[in-house]
Amino acid sequence: MTKVLMVLTSHDQLGDTGRKTGFWLEEFAAPYYRFRDAGWDVTLASPKGGRPPLDPKSNEPDFQTDQTRRFEADAQAKAQLGETLRLDRVSVDDFDTVFYPGGHGPVWDLAEDENSIKLIERTVAAGKPIALVCHAPGALRHVVTSDGKPLVAGRRVTGFTNGEEEFMGLTKVVPFLVEDELLAKGAEFDKVGNFEPFVVTDGQLVTGQNPASSGPAADRLISLFDGAGR
């Protein structure tokens, strides 16, 4: 059975706005059920452990999907979400792959979290696939290869775009713009129109542009294992 670790944010403050943030529900629920339905074993982790903060906006009617409604009716999944492991207590050796849902939270904590940085570096060094969607690719900003170069340098990636952040009115609120940061690290940043599903695969690194890309990114991750006959 393939074992996947899903890493969620523990950060719940949207800068100095006084508003709440966290993980985006669709970006958790869609991959979670893709993995479950594929027969994968899913483990959840976050920097602080316990229940990660949900961005309340992501559960408003306009942003609900079949998968978010499935989650809301799934007592077992909700209980599992309430008991995420602390990130400093997980080991890459215990998992076949790693998936990072987005939401705005990750650009504050996962991007700077030493345990997250080491987890990604060790996952890549072990030749295991890793996927990050929406704001979560921002967690790659300090990740380096074994020779000390930025992981994303010279690699094709995507993530929440400057245009999408501008549409949300949060360009001046977030600590950095995902697109600008990855470009600054030497990445080749690909994108499509605002909020259209888009996934990029570069070797074992899978990135998705926005919430609509989270399910497709999970599908791409699953296909890497199907293709390898694992």
Active site residues: 134-135, 165
Q: How far apart are CA 16 and CA 71, in angstroms?
A: 30
Q: Report the 10 Å Cβ neighbour count for 17.
A: 11
Residue 47's Cα: distance from chain center in Å?
13
Q: Supply φ then ψ for residue 201, to 5 degrees.
A: -120, 125
Long-range CB pairs of 112-121 (<8 Å, 24+ gap) are 112/142, 113/47, 113/87, 113/139, 115/47, 115/87, 115/88, 116/7, 116/47, 116/87, 117/142, 117/143, 119/7, 119/87, 119/90, 119/92, 120/151, 121/145, 121/151
